[in-house]
Amino acid sequence: MGSLTPGTRLKSAVCTTEIMVITAPPEDIEITCGGEPMGQGADANGPSVHQDRAEGSVIGKRYTNEDGSLEVLCVKAGEGSLWTGGAAMKIKDATKLPKTD
């Protein structure tokens, strides 16, 4: 998949999940959803969601990898789980902020 840049939008090959890259490391990195690599191409038409990668993605949540070098925003929910570097990505807890607008 190559290196990612902020703003890149990726779709799941196996479910409705879509994400947008917020921060990415300079080196090549692959994100999978439901067990299959995500890409910028067409909608889901590949194989079905892998059984062990079916915890789902939640719209509006930010997901990060282990060291925080990769952060993505889920912009469409789906059934597949987001993984990268052989581990599930974790939901980043938003800092609780007072309303400003």
The residues binding another protein (CB under 8 A) are: 6-9, 20, 22, 59-62, 73, 75-77, 94-95, 97-101
Nearer to another protein, 49 or 72 (CB): 72
Shortest distance, CB of residue 6 to another protein, whole angstroms? 6
What is the largest distance, in Å, between two alpha-carbon atoms of the chain?
44
Q: What φ, ψ does residue 73 adopt, rounded to 5°? A: -115, 130
CA gap 40, 96 in Å, rounded: 32
Shortest distance, CB of residue 86 to another protein, whole angstroms? 27
